[in-house]
Amino acid sequence: MEHIKTEEAFRERIADGTMTVAVFKTTWCKDCHFIEPFMPDLERDYEGRIRFIQIDRDELPDLSLELGIMGIPSFIAYREGQELVRFVSKLRKTRDEIEQFLNRALEVAAALPKS
């Protein structure tokens, strides 16, 4: 998963036609560490359909505030710069819940016309 360090890099990654899921985390978040063991498997499972990027909320606080990221980890799916769907809450996320979110993001993307 590519670690994004600037707002410019974030905006570049979400701008193209590839569905991109931004994963907002921090180094001190226990729930963020909980998802680390299975995220590489999810990246492999969705390879070719979803690109994953990681943003440390503490490194880009203005972007996180702009996007309303309070609870972490949080997930937002984008295509062509537009937000498709988000999974944002203060609760711990399970692998099953994240997979449901990713499948929903793919469904939403399939239902929308590409520019």
Where helices occur in 22-94 by DSSP H, the ranges are 30-35, 39-45, 61-66
| Domain count of the fold of the chain | 1
pLDDT one-digit tens code per residue, 14-60? 998 899 999 999 999 999 999 999 999 999 999 999 999 999 999 99
Q: Can you give the pTM of this predicted structure?
A: 0.93
Question: Which residues are known to be catalytic?
Answer: 29, 32
Residue 19: which CATH number? 3.40.30.10
Q: Residue 80's domain spans which residues?
A: 2-111
Alpha carbon distance 45, 48 (integer Å) = 9
pLDDT computed for residue 30 by the predictor: 93
- Residue 113 confidence (pLDDT) above 90: no
